[in-house]
């Protein structure tokens, strides 16, 4: 098999890149190790920056998103029994975010790809990327019990945090910067209408809690738990009691309870692999970087990486120039590090440290108070949360640089 761009992985990064390439006439093949049902039902994030929504619309995947997506004009911060609204449009010149589950994005993109797109092979596990330094890199993969090869001009690893693409960087050709956090998230889906129109990020007395949603009938909630937590130790009643305690405010607000339909524990980690390119092998999305979910940046970063790649391959196709591809790693990493910083800061500001010292807790409250008291501090949070520009803007003033 032969193609111009071999894409490993049919998560949001690989699927969106395939659509972007298809629209500009660049041919590609997508290899996905899992089957379609698995890929379409994986529970993941669901908060989309404006730029992510725009990119999905541009490539024809906006129809259901525009009907079912829930547009949010801000978030709520809770601490010490207080609730504070952060007004995104007012602080950012009109920007909003949209709740639409990643699983639904994947379903929409898979349907488009199978309808008119280039080949998307499920059950096709990439085993190795060979000759990434050459002009003709090869992906070796297993499909329907046979080992096959995909000969490419370029290979893009969109194969997530445990994929094979990153492993094809020779020793010494890259470096990973990592940070582990001493807590995890216990996430639930519940058949109950959201208790609030907005996402709530709460620094409760015993730790972090997040109130989110999937639809007007389904709530998504998270609790900070110790690393190594077994979800079996958290019966439904205990989860609701702890969520209610951490989300509690002075005044009348009540957390609605309902049947829990899914429960899982996710550890929190930050890492970034530099560079995001070696020869003709490029990395995008979780294959190149992981952020903790507190800033809701994972999916949005995957989308911004492939938007840059879409532009770079379009330019190559149109003019023969590799200039944008040559700049890809540097350009993408600028945004990746900003999102990594934002996710790190949000995580550290809102979670209780195990064996927390009282000073640290006071620092967290001081940060939260600053955001709720100062327009410029709130604007900084809003700018990062709603999404920084795809490429840094010329520095007219310190504030407009991002
Ligand atoms: N061969 C083929 N496919 C592979 C291989 C392989 N060797 N290894 C992994 N894959 C597939 C996985 O099965 C998965 O479908 O690559 C895909 C990677 O998708 P994601 O993990 O969803 O990563 P990405 O597309 O970068 O999306 C970014 O944002 O919300 C976050 O972490 C969340 O999924 C999320 C992400
Ligand atoms: C989610 O809805 O799953 C979600 C929202 C915001 C986050 C993390 C997860 O910061």
Q: Looking at the CA of 201, name the nearest ligand.
A: 2
Parallel, antiparallel or unpaired: strands 74-79 and 199-204:
parallel
Report H helices in 78-205. Answer: 88-92, 102-116
CA of 211 to the centre of ligand 1 (A): 25
Q: How far is the CA of 249 from the centre of ligand 1 (A)?
A: 38
Q: How far apart are CA 325 and CA 329, in angstroms?
A: 8
CB neighbour list of residue 123: distance below 8 Å, 6 or more residues apart:
32, 33, 34, 35, 143, 144
Q: How many angstroms separate the CA atoms of 109 and 223, rounded?
A: 31
Q: Which of 74, 220, 266 to mutate to test the pocket of ligand 2 (most atoms within 8 A of CB)?
A: 220
Helix (H, G, I), strand (E, B) or coil at 31: strand
Ligand lying nearest the CA atom of residue 188: 2
Cβ pair 262, 189 in contact under 8 A = yes
Catalytic residue ranges: 72, 201, 293, 297, 385
Which of 292, 307, 326 minimizes the C-alpha distance to 17? 307
**Tokens standing for residue 147:** 């080992």
Q: From CA 76, how far away is CA 225, in angstroms rounded?
A: 21
Three-state DSSP class for residue 182: strand
Q: How far apart are CA 384 and CA 366, in angstroms?
A: 20
Side by side, the strands of the sheet bearing 5-8 are 120-121, 28-31, 5-8, 154-157, 281-283, 277-278
* Ligand 1 pocket test target in 147, 286, 290, 301 with most atoms within 8 Å of CB: 286
**What are the residue ranges spanned by the domains of the chain?**
5-72+100-177+269-352
CATH number given to 5-72+100-177+269-352: 3.50.50.60
Q: Which atom of ligand 1 is nearest to the CA of 163?
A: 8
pLDDT at res. 395: 64
Other CB atoms within 10 Å distance of the CB of residue 22: 18
- Ligand 2-lining residues (CB < 6 angstroms): 45-47, 199, 210, 212, 220, 293-294, 296
Separation of CA 153 and ligand 1 centre (Å):
22
Q: What is the DSSP string of 50-86?
A: HHHHHHHHHTT--HHHHHH-EEE-EEEEEETTEEEEE
Separation CA 345–CA 226 (nearest Å): 19
Cα 13 from Cα 271, distance rounded (Å):
18
Strand 277-278 to 97-99 pairing: unpaired
Which ligand has an atom closest to residue 295 CA? 2
Compute, in angstroms, the gap from residue 38 CA to the centroid of ligand 2: 21
Strand-pair partners of 28: 5
Give dist(CA 201, CA 208) in Å, integer: 8
Residues with CB under 6 A from ligand 1: 8-14, 31-34, 39, 44-45, 102, 125-126, 158-160, 163-164, 285-287, 298-299, 302
Q: How far is CA 91 from the centre of its chain?
A: 23
Q: Taking the chain (402 residues) in consecutive chunks of 10 residues, what is each chunk's mean pLDDT? A: 98 97 96 97 90 95 96 98 98 96 96 91 98 97 97 98 96 95 98 97 97 94 98 97 98 96 96 98 98 97 98 97 98 98 98 92 97 98 96 62 44
Ligand 2 centroid–CA 110 distance in Å is 23
**DSSP states along 268-311:** EEEEEEE-SEETTEEE-GGGTEE--GGG--HHHHHHHHHHHHHH
For 122, which DSSP code?
Answer: T
Q: How many CA atoms lie within 13 A of 174 on its CB side?
A: 23
């Amino acid at each position: 098999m032969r193609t111009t761009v071999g894409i490993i992985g049919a998560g949001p990064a690989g699927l969106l890149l395939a659509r972007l390439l298809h629209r500009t006439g660049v041919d590609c093949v997508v290899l996905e190790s899992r089957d379609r049902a698995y890929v379409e039902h994986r529970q993941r994030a669901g908060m989309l920056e404006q730029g992510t929504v725009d990119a999905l619309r541009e490539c024809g995947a906006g129809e259901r998103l525009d009907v079912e997506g829930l547009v949010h004009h801000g978030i709520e911060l809770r601490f010490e029994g207080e609730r504070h609204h952060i007004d995104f449009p007012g602080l950012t010149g009109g920007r909003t975010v949209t709740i639409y589950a990643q699983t639904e994005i994947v379903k929409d993109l898979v349907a488009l790809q199978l309808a008119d797109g280039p080949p998307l092979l499920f059950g096709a596990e990439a085993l190795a990327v060979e000759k990434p330094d050459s002009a003709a890199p090869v992906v070796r993969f297993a499909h329907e019990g046979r080992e096959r090869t995909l000969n490419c001009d370029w290979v893009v690893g969109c194969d997530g945090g445990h994929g094979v693409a990153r492993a094809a960087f020779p020793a010494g050709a890259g470096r990973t910067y990592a940070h582990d956090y001493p807590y995890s998230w216990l996430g639930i889906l519940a058949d109950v209408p959201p208790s609030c129109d907005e996402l709530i990020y709460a620094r409760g007395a015993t730790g972090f809690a997040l109130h989110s949603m999937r639809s007007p009938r389904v709530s998504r909630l998270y609790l900070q738990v110790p690393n190594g937590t077994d979800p079996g130790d958290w019966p439904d009643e205990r989860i609701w009691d702890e969520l209610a305690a951490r989300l509690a405010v002075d005044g009348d607000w009540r957390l609605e309870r309902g049947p829990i339909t899914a429960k899982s524990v996710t550890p929190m980690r930050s890492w970034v692999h530099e560079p995001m390119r070696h020869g003709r092998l490029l990395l995008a999305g979780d294959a190149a970087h992981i952020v903790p979910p507190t800033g809701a940046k994972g999916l949005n970063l995957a989308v911004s990486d492939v938007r840059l790649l879409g532009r770079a391959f379009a330019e190559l196709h149109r003019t023969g120039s590799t200039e944008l591809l040559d700049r890809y790693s540097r350009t993408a990493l600028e945004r990746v590090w900003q999102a990594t910083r934002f996710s790190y800061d949000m995580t550290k500001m809102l979670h209780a440290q195990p064996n927390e010292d009282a000073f640290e807790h006071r620092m967290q409250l001081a940060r939260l108070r600053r955001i709720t008291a100062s327009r410029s501090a709130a604007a900084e949070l809003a700018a990062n949360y709603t999404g920084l520009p795809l490429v840094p803007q010329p520095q007219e003033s310190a504030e407009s640089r991002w």
